[in-house]
A and B are shown apart, each in its own frame.
Chain A
Amino acid sequence: MKTTRNTKTTKSSPLPAAHTDLGKPEVVWTRRHLLGLEELSGEELEHIFRTAESFQEISTRSIKKVPALRGRVVVNLFFEDSTRTRMSFTLAAQRLSADVLDFSAGKSSVTKGETLRDTVRNIEAMGVDTFIIRHSAAGAPHYITRCTDCNVINAGDGQHEHPTQGLIDIFTIRERKGRIAGLKVVIVGDIAHSRVARSNFWGLKRLGAEVTLVGPTTLVPRAFEKMGAKTSYDLDAALKDADVVNMLRIQHERISSQVFPSREEYVRLFGLTQERLRGTKPDLLIMHPGPINRGVELSSEVADGPNSSILRQVSNGLAIRMAVLFLLNQASGKN
C-alpha cells in the first residue's frame, strides 16, 4: 500500500472495549436500515466513522475476526452484477463472524417470475437477519423494508444512492484531511446517472463541505443547484482551489448513447491527467470509487500517483461496512 500515508491506527483500544464507547448516551444509533445518506444527520455520520475507526484495527491483526455478529445471518441479495462490493460486504460480515448467504439473480426479479417481495420473504423465512441489496431499480431497498422485519442495507439502488460507497469516500477524505467542513470537493463525471455522486453529495453537504459537480451539460443537470451543489462544465476552473476530486466511472453505454460525441472528446474535456494537475493544490486528494477506466477518467500516472487514494478507499470499505453491519444489527434489538 505504497500510496497510503496513514498505515498506523492510533486507536489501540481492542474490542470490545471500543464498543463500550459506542453506547455513549449522547449518541444512540437507532436505525435498522441504511438506505441512503440523504436522511442521515451529521452526528449519525460521525458515529459511523468512529465505529469504523475502531474496526480498522481488526484488519491489521493476524486473526482478522471478532465475534460481534456470531450467529447472525447476512444475505447478499444482488440483482445487479458486482464483484467488489459483494466481496467487501462478505469479508466485512465474516470478520464480524456472521454467516453469509449469497443470492444472485438477473437484472429484475420480474424476469425470474418471482416478485421481489416473494424472494425476500422466502429468504427471510430461513431465519436471516440482514439483507444487503443491490438492485437496478431506485427504491428497491426501501420497498424491501416494507416486506420484511430484517435489517436492510442499500448496496446501490439504480441511480439513487450507494450509501456505503459514499461513507467510504467521505471517511477516506476525513482520514487524509482531518476534517470535512470547509473542504472544496469536486465530483466529476456522469452525475445524473450516478448513485455514488448522490450519496457523496448528501454526506459531504451534511458535514459542511462545498461540493461542485462537474461534467458535460448532458450529464450534470443544473437542477442539482437547487439541492445545494455547485455545477460547472469547466474542470480546470473547478480544480483550481479544490481540496478533493472524485472521478466517477463513465459507463460505456453513455458513450454509445450519444450523451457526448466521443470518448476522446470526454477525455480532453474531463479526464484527469498529470498536465491538468499542474494548476491545482499540491495536496489535492484524488479519488475514484472504481473500477477505473484507465486513460478515460484518469491517466495511469495520476491513478497510481502519490495523491491517489484509490486503494485506501478499498481498504476503508471493509471498516465502513463492518461498522454499518454492526450498528444496524445492534439496533435491530434481536439478541
Chain B
Amino acid sequence: MADTDILIRGGRIIDPANGVDRTGDLLLSDGKVACVDTRVAETGARVIEAAGLIVCPGLIDIHVHFREPGDENEETIATGSEAAVAGGFTSVACMPNTNPALDDEASIEFVYRHASRANLCNVYPIGAVTKGRQGKELAEMGQMDRAGAVGFSDDGCGIACTGLMYRALQYVRMFDKPIMQHAEDPDVTSGGVMNGGQTALRLGLPGINPIGEELMIQRDLTLVKETGARYHVCHISTAAAVELVRQAKAAGMPVTAEVAPHHLLLTEDNCATFDTNFKMSPPLRTSADVEACLAGLAEGTIDCLATDHAPHGVQEKELEFLSAPFGIIGLESALPLYLKVLLTTGLLDWPSLIDRMAVRPARVLRLGKGTLSVGADADVTLIDPDIEWTIDARGFKSKSRNCPFDGWKVRGRAVTTIVGGQIKYQLEPGAD
C-alpha cells in the first residue's frame, strides 16, 4: 500500500451510479477507488475523518468559461481550476469562446497542457462547431475529436444557419459527441440585454424575446430527428424549452439539457436596479420559467446542473446595463445554492442531487467518471451539509468578482476535494 493512499472514514457515502447511500469507509489507492465498505482496515493510509460529511463522486460542471487564451485578466485555466476545486468540482468542461476560439487541434491541446500544468482538476475542452465561432464554416471537429475535445459548441451564440446546423449534426455523428447548443435565434433576440418581458418594457431596456430559445430548439429537434446526432441544450431557461426537451425525451431522442443556478433562483425582476451582475445570457426569465426549470430538473427532463461560470473583470461589469458584458461566475457558489433551492425545498434528495451534479454530466460527455465504483478514478468530494457561511466574492479563488449572490447567507459547502487520489482543496478551519 502506497503512502499516498487515502482512507475516508465514517462518511455518508453517496454513489448514485451504484445505488449506494450508506455510512462507511472509502479507500483510495494509486489514484483509483480501491475499496468501499462499512469498515476498511487502517493500513497506513492517510485518514480523513468524515463523520457527518457527504462523501460523493467528484462534482462535474460541463459548462464553464476559463477565458484562456485571450482574456487572462479575467480568468486562466489555472485560476479557474482553483475556483473549481474550491467549489467541490473535480472535473469541468470549458467552452471554446476564447480569443482565439478553441476551434482546432492545437487549441484543444493547449487547454490540456495548461490544465496539467495547473494540476488541480480535470479540464476538458469543448471545441467550436464552426471556425472562429463565426457560424459560417465547419471547424475541424474530427481533428479536435482526436485531440480530446469532449463535445462541440459555439456557446455565446446559437448556430443560426439551419443548413450549417444540419451538416454539423450529420458530421458529428462520426464521433459520438454532442453538439451543445446555445439556443437563441438571433433573428428575434439580437440587441436585447435582458428578458423580453414585463420588466424590460418597464425599464425601457431592449428585450431578448424568450421565444428565441424555443424557436431554435424546435428547429434543432427536427434536425436531430433527421440525423440521429446527440444534442445537448445549454443553460435552458424557458418553460417552453423545458417542454420541448420533455417531449423529445418521451419520443426517445438523444437529447439532454442543463440548467444554471441563476435560472433556478433569480428572475427578471432582479434587473430592476440595473445591477449588471444580473445581466447574463440567456437572461433571467420569469417566475413561471423558474418553476418549469425546477420541475424539469426534479423529474429528470433536465439532466445536469451546470454553472455557466463566466468571469468578467470589475471594470467591464461596472458599466451601464446596456454596455456591460453578459455572464456571472458560479463555481464557488453553486453547491450551496443548489442545496438551498433543490434540497431544502424537497425537490431533490442527496442521491438525486449528486446524480445531476456528477453522474449525468459525466454521461453527457462520456467522461467515464461520476462514480465511486472500485477501479474508478479517485475523484471524490467531501461536503459538510450543515456548515453555515456567507458568500463573499472577494474571497473567491476565481480572478473575477461578478457574482449576484455575493453576501447571501447559505448552508453547505465542499470541505475537501480529491482529484485522481490527491487532495486538491481543503477548506481552512475557521474559514467563514
Contact = CB atoms under 8 A, between A and B. Distances in A.
Interface string B298-323: 00000000000000000100111111
B320 A159 contact: no
Interface stretch (B81-89, B197-205, B247-255): B197-205
B318 A159 contact: no
Contacts of B408: none
A165 to B, nearest CB: 13
A160 B203 contact: yes
Query: What is the predominant secondary structure among interface residues of chain B facing chain A?
Result: loop
A4 interface: no
A158 B322 contact: yes
Contacts of B320: 108-109, 116, 135, 137, 139-140, 143
B10 to A, nearest CB: 49
A198 B205 CA distance: 12
Contact of B274 (A108, A109, A142, A223): A142
A115 B315 contact: yes
Q: Which bucket holds chain B's interface residue count?
A: 10 to 19
Q: Which bucket holds chain A's interface residue count?
A: 20 to 34
A63 interface: no
Given A158-B204, A161-B204, A115 B319 contact: yes
A266 interface: no
A227 interface: yes
A183 interface: no
Contacts of B18: none
B203 A139 contact: yes
Nearest to B315: A115
B204 A157 contact: yes
A253 to B, nearest CB: 12
Interface string A216-241: 00000101101100000000000000
A138 interface: yes
A138 B201 contact: no
Interface string A178-189: 000000000000
A192 B315 CA distance: 31
Contact of B204 (A117, A198, A221, A226): A198
B406 to A, nearest CB: 15
Interface in B193-252: 197-198, 201-206
Contacts of A159: 204-206
B345 interface: no
28 contacts: A108-B323, A115-B315, A115-B319, A116-B319, A136-B322, A137-B320, A137-B321, A137-B322, A137-B323, A138-B203, A138-B274, A138-B321, A139-B203, A139-B320, A140-B320, A140-B322, A142-B273, A157-B204, A159-B204, A159-B205, A159-B206, A160-B203, A193-B204, A221-B201, A223-B198, A223-B201, A224-B201, A227-B202
Given A138-B274, A143-B320, 20 more contacts: A108-B320, A109-B320, A116-B320, A136-B322, A137-B320, A137-B323, A138-B203, A138-B205, A138-B321, A139-B320, A142-B273, A143-B319, A143-B321, A158-B204, A159-B205, A160-B204, A192-B201, A193-B204, A198-B204, A227-B202
